Structure 1
Amino acid sequence: MTAHFDSSAITSGRTLRGLVGDIGGTNARFAIAERSNGKTTLSSFKSLETADHKDVYDALTDYFRQIGGKPELDYTVVAVAGPVKNGRIKFTNLDWEVEEGLLARHVGAKTARLINDYAALAFALPHLEDADTKTIGTVTKGFGDVHAVMGAGTGFGASVLVGGEFGPYCLSTESGHISFAPVNDYESEILRFLRKKHGRVTVEMLLSGPGLVNLYQAISSIRGEPAHELTPAQITHLDGDDATGSRYTVEAFLDIMASVCGDLALAHGAVSGMFIAGGIAPRLIKHVDELRFRARMEAKAPLAGLVASIPSRIIIHPYAALLGSANALTDVQITA
């Protein structure tokens, strides 16, 4: 996979060491990153349960204890599941508040930055190797210097990474809250069912963990079948008690994901490639019909030819957000 990003702005020639993190509602993951000559290595991975710690600073103290002490750090970048405002985040589903100044002082780094978790994934894109992704279809190389990442997990996230002379620059988006657009009568029936329950129906209400449940309930109703009380994990376990309903649900989920993938490629101008992250897609890789996925993704007349030239990949790197956090700051931003 060839990245189209100008790395001269992020390579000073000396080794830079940073603490990187990825904090969600349940787990806080940390690692030590070393950057040298455009290459990044990660070590000392630890995943801590947020419920076991009163705040992020307590978790970091525990992390440093587990890795044998606090190393000398040039910077720290922590990805967080939520919006960062004025260098601060107060988590919605976690009783933690993190502020960049306090974070820098606690870890002993000159520079600290909080970024959205999908911004971290975007910053990882130029640094992913072929083995870090699963390509969907035969298109392996795009053009230009704009990548985008989208993904379904607890919610739906998306970010864009722009390269070129003034890059890399990341634009975090709220694409999960755009309206769902059905492309056939079957999906119109799904929309009709969900609109009666929720009013406006968004992409996130279909492409997420709760979205899987919404889809399952809608499809069960359309098929005239009872909807059991299944969790997202049970729905994606296609050998479960309701395997038939699960299979139809997963099939619709992947179709809609492919369609949204093509929509966002156009909306974001992501001609270098569309990447799919999140907790759900990697678990469903074996169920992806590549020809069907690409057909749905590319069905964007009159620009079907453009979308057909854009690669689509599922990220399988286990620490992609940490890799992106390690590369979110340029050398100048770290050492200034």
Structure 2
Amino acid sequence: MNAATGHLDRPGSIPATLFLAADVGGTYARVGLVQVSKDDGHQVELLAYRKLACADFPGLAELLQSFVASDVRTTVRHCVLACAGQLVGDEVLNDNSAWPIHLAQVRKAMALDEVAFLNDLEALGYALDDGSAQGTRRLCGPDIRPDGSILVIGPGTGLGAAVRWPGTSGGRVLTTEAGQMDYAPHSVREREVLAHLAPNGGYVAYERIVSGPGLLALYAVLCTLRGETPRLGTPEAVTAAASACSDAQAVEAVEIFCASLGSFTGSLAMAFVTVGSVYLAGGFLYSMFALLERSAFEERFLHGRSVRALLSRVPVWVTEHGRKGVLGAARWYLRRGVPGVARYASAAG
């Protein structure tokens, strides 16, 4: 281990056939016990899996310990974590995390030899390399899966994005913090919302609008602008009311959310010249698929002028989150010998 960089000095194969893989979001953590396939040493098998609410545990180590106590009947000394945010030193920086995450603390509390880290959307990028259609629905664009770069976007507790370029051994995934880019309003109403969120001007990130909490914030702002008191308290309640057309502010909030997601997605597809597919990932989006279908998402995604011809060739899919993040993290860990990709907490802590 190189103490200065935290990277593995001699990348190679996983030193154990069993390891933990966790996909840790702001609300839920999905944890699996993974085994390197006995039939194919390049594949992974999920032996146990649980979805746990982060709020039920005082920290990540306690959450992982609970999974080990209930589902793991053998010693596991290696773990890979897919978390929203980026690793700076030993700490995962993320405004939406349920608790501070320090890799050395997790390693010590779990008595692990090694803890590896990658971004959660990066893990999803590696999970989509098999082209599986399970839990995936086409939102717009042609009903094909063209070869080429793939864009993965995940609105949840926050907003993440990653890009996967094809290549040997599953290609390469680039993580981003695109959700932290400045929100760009498109309509007069969106400018009113932005002015309410930042009455003195300044920075408003896309994830303040395009996320679960963002949808709820949109609803509250629209109620305020109409002089009404918000009566819905969760993003799920807002989407349910919008589906039933039982609350005008909920309907408008979902319309702005979907349209803004379309603009954000189209802008990233242009920035990275996405010629493969776009995947919108997460159970939150999957549950509101019908609302997305009849929204302005596609029109805003396509933008205008000459770029419309490019983006109209790109299929956009909505895919369930499920176990994809855990499997993607495990696949990345298995392939971690790619130079410049692996990031680790050393055994010295």
C-alpha deviation, 1:206, in angstroms: 1.1
Q: Say if 2:156 is the partner of 1:153.
A: yes
- CA pair 159-310 structure 1, distance change in 2 beyond 3 A: same
Q: Say if 2:117 is the partner of 1:114.
A: yes
Q: Say if 2:102 is the partner of 1:98.
A: yes
Aligned equivalent of 2:32: 31
Aligned equivalent of 1:266: 270
| Cα distance in structure 2, aligned partners of 1:188 and 1:90 | 30
- CA pair 85-168 structure 1, distance change in 2 beyond 3 A: farther
Contact 1:260 1:297 in 2 (8 A): yes
Aligned equivalent of 1:67: 71
C-alpha deviation, 1:310, in angstroms: 0.9
3-state secondary structure, aligned to 2:48: strand
Aligned equivalent of 2:347: none
| Cα distance in structure 2, aligned partners of 1:331 and 1:25 | 26
The one-letter amino acid of 1:209's match is G
Aligned equivalent of 2:7: none
CA offset digits 1:144-182 (Å, max 9, x no partner):
532121122222111112222586222221111222223
Contact 1:146 1:160 in 2 (8 A): yes
Q: Say if 2:49 is the partner of 1:45.
A: yes
Aligned equivalent of 1:8: none
The 5 Å alignment of 1:7-26 reads 16-26=17-27
Contact 2:86 2:92 in 1 (8 A): yes
Contact 1:182 1:188 in 2 (8 A): yes
CA offset digits 1:61-104 (Å, max 9, x no partner):
3322212512567x531112332124543776444543269639
| Cα distance in structure 1, aligned partners of 2:144 and 2:44 | 23
Contact 1:206 1:212 in 2 (8 A): yes
CA offset digits 1:203-243 (Å, max 9, x no partner):
11211233213322443455x35241532332222178962
Contact 2:124 2:152 in 1 (8 A): yes
Counterpart among 203, 226, 229 of residue 228 in structure 2: 226
C-alpha deviation, 1:295, in angstroms: 2.5
C-alpha deviation, 1:333, in angstroms: 2.8
| Cα distance in structure 2, aligned partners of 1:102 and 1:217 | 37
Contact 1:33 1:326 in 2 (8 A): yes
CA offset digits 1:124-145 (Å, max 9, x no partner):
1213511231111242335453
Aligned equivalent of 1:76: 79
| Cα distance in structure 2, aligned partners of 1:145 and 1:104 | 41
- CA pair 121-87 structure 1, distance change in 2 beyond 3 A: farther
Contact 2:141 2:313 in 1 (8 A): no
3-state secondary structure, aligned to 1:275: strand
Normalised by the length of structure 1, the TM-score is 0.80
* Count of matched residue positions in the alignment of Structure 1 and Structure 2: 321
Aligned equivalent of 2:129: 126
Contact 2:258 2:296 in 1 (8 A): no
- Structure 1 unmatched runs, 5+: 1-11
3-state secondary structure, aligned to 1:329: helix
